[in-house]
């Protein structure tokens, strides 16, 4: 019986020759039969890969044999065996595309000048000490927060990571500049950069959740400060931390709770929106709210509009 695993990790470390690392990582992941996505930059590596458990272990062992990646904090989860369409290994100017490559300094110790890292336990202690003064700041795309987020979190209006700088410079969050702000994202990587950008723009007390929502969920499941489902970037598209998690998302058609995103049927749009399994099965609501004027939403599909999913 085969068991498939997905690994998620990142390392911020200076890489003088990202192209050489890309070639090595591609050959290694391909040789192990893994699929998924690896980004390499002069700032380090960010990878999400899946495959048979023994193959994934082999990949992890080899990756860690390279000294700069030796201490990689690797997050494991169970896959379905069909989680990624292909293997993609690319070199990019930034590990996470905030469009601020020159603002981030990376040394062998990681990103410099970021928010203090909080483990899930230390996060709870901060909240015990400071109470409602503490505010969560979602470091993901707003869409991801539709199905799950920390209690009371502020969700910036972002379609992509590129939108963050304009958001934090907008003045909309000025009252947070003197409060303890805890940024969080899926596995922690986006906060490594976001917390620097926030501190550089006058947010005086910024923390980042170490290991992201993934590690928090492993520690506290559904009984802590996290509500709902976690959006993930593979075919699963969402995961829950144990039984009894109710997704915060609402089906665009019938308004029942659902963690399921589908692509808008408009080929020009393809935006993800929420639609429950039953409504998908009935062929209802193929378009996102922006492509169908209010009132026309939910009209039965004609042949030409059939969802391409």
Closest separation between CB of residue 307 and Zn ion, Å? 12
Q: Quick one: which segment of 82-90, 155-163, 205-213, 277-285 binds Zn ion (CB under 5 A)?
A: 277-285
Q: Does residue 252 interact with Zn ion by CB under 5 A? A: no
Q: Quick one: which segment of 1-9, 117-125, 231-239, 285-293 binds Zn ion (CB under 5 A)?
A: 285-293
Element holding 56 (H helix, E strand): helix 53-64
Q: Name the token pair of 244.
A: 């009894």
Nearer to Zn ion, 74 or 254 (CB): 254
Could you tell me how many residues make up the chain?
Answer: 309
CA 88, CA 19: separation in Å to the nearest integer? 14
Q: Does residue 253 interact with Zn ion by CB under 5 A? A: yes
Within 13 Å of residue 9, how many CA atoms lie on the same side as its CB? 19
Element holding 212 (H helix, E strand): helix 212-220
Q: Is 185 a catalytic residue?
A: yes
CA 61, CA 43: separation in Å to the nearest integer? 21
Q: Does residue 288 interact with Zn ion by CB under 5 A? A: yes
Q: Does residue 301 interact with Zn ion by CB under 5 A? A: no
Element holding 76 (H helix, E strand): strand 75-78
Q: Does residue 72 interact with Zn ion by CB under 5 A? A: no
Q: Does residue 119 interact with Zn ion by CB under 5 A? A: no
Q: Comparing C-alpha atoms, which of 197, 213, 75, 218 is closest to residue 151?
A: 213
Q: Does residue 127 interact with Zn ion by CB under 5 A? A: no
Please tell me which residue in 32, 185, 276, 279 is annotated as part of the active site: 185
Closest separation between CB of residue 25 and Zn ion, Å? 35
Nearer to Zn ion, 145 or 279 (CB): 279
Closest separation between CB of residue 264 and Zn ion, Å? 3
Beta-strand ranges (E) seen in 151-256 are 180-184, 205-209, 226-228, 230-231, 238-239
Q: How many binding residues for Zn ion (CB under 5 A)?
A: 11
Give the number of other CB atoms < 10 A from CB of residue 65.
9
Q: Does residue 264 interact with Zn ion by CB under 5 A? A: yes
CA 296, CA 288: separation in Å to the nearest integer? 11
Closest separation between CB of residue 302 and Zn ion, Å? 16
Give Cα 281 to chain centroid, integer Å.
Answer: 28
Characterize the bridge pairing of strands 205-209 and 226-228: unpaired
Q: Quick one: which segment of 89-97, 198-206, 209-217, 256-264 binds Zn ion (CB under 5 A)?
A: 256-264
Q: Does residue 7 interact with Zn ion by CB under 5 A? A: no
Q: Does residue 198 interact with Zn ion by CB under 5 A? A: no
Residues labelled as active-site residues: 185
Binding positions for Zn ion, rule: CB under 5 A: 251, 253-254, 264, 266, 269, 271, 276, 279, 288, 291
């Amino acid at each position: 019986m085969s068991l498939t695993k997905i690994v998620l990790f990142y390392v911020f470390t200076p890489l003088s020759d990202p192209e050489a690392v890309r070639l090595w990582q591609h050959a290694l992941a391909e040789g192990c039969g893994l699929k998924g996505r690896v980004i390499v930059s002069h700032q380090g590596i960010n990878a999400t890969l899946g495959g048979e458990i023994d193959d994934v272990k082999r990949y992890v062992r080899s990756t860690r044999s390279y000294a700069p990646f030796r201490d990689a904090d690797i997050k494991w989860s169970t896959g379905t065996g069909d989680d990624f369409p292909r293997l993609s290994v690319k070199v990019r100017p930034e590990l996470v595309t905030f469009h601020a490559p020159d603002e981030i300094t990376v040394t062998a110790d990681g990103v410099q000048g970021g928010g203090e890292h909080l483990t899930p336990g230390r996060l709870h202690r901060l909240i015990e000490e400071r109470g409602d003064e503490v505010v969560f700041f979602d470091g993901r795309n707003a869409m991801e927060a539709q199905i799950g987020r920390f209690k009371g979190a502020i969700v910036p209006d972002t379609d992509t990571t590129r939108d963050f700088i304009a958001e934090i410079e907008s003045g909309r969050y000025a009252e947070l500049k003197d409060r303890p702000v805890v940024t969080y994202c899926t596995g922690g990587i986006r906060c490594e950069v976001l917390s620097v950008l926030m501190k550089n723009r006058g947010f005086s007390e910024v923390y980042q959740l170490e290991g992201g929502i993934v590690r928090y969920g492993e520690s506290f499941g559904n009984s802590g400060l996290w509500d709902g489902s976690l959006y993930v970037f593979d075919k699963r598209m969402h995961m829950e931390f144990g039984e009894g998690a109710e997704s915060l998302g609402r089906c665009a058609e019938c308004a029942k709770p659902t963690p399921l995103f589908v692509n808008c049927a408009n080929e020009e749009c393809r935006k993800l929106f929420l639609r429950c399994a039953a409504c998908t099965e009935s062929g209802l609501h193929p378009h996102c709210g922006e492509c169908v004027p209010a009132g026309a939403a939910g009209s039965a599909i004609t042949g030409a509009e059939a969802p391409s999913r």
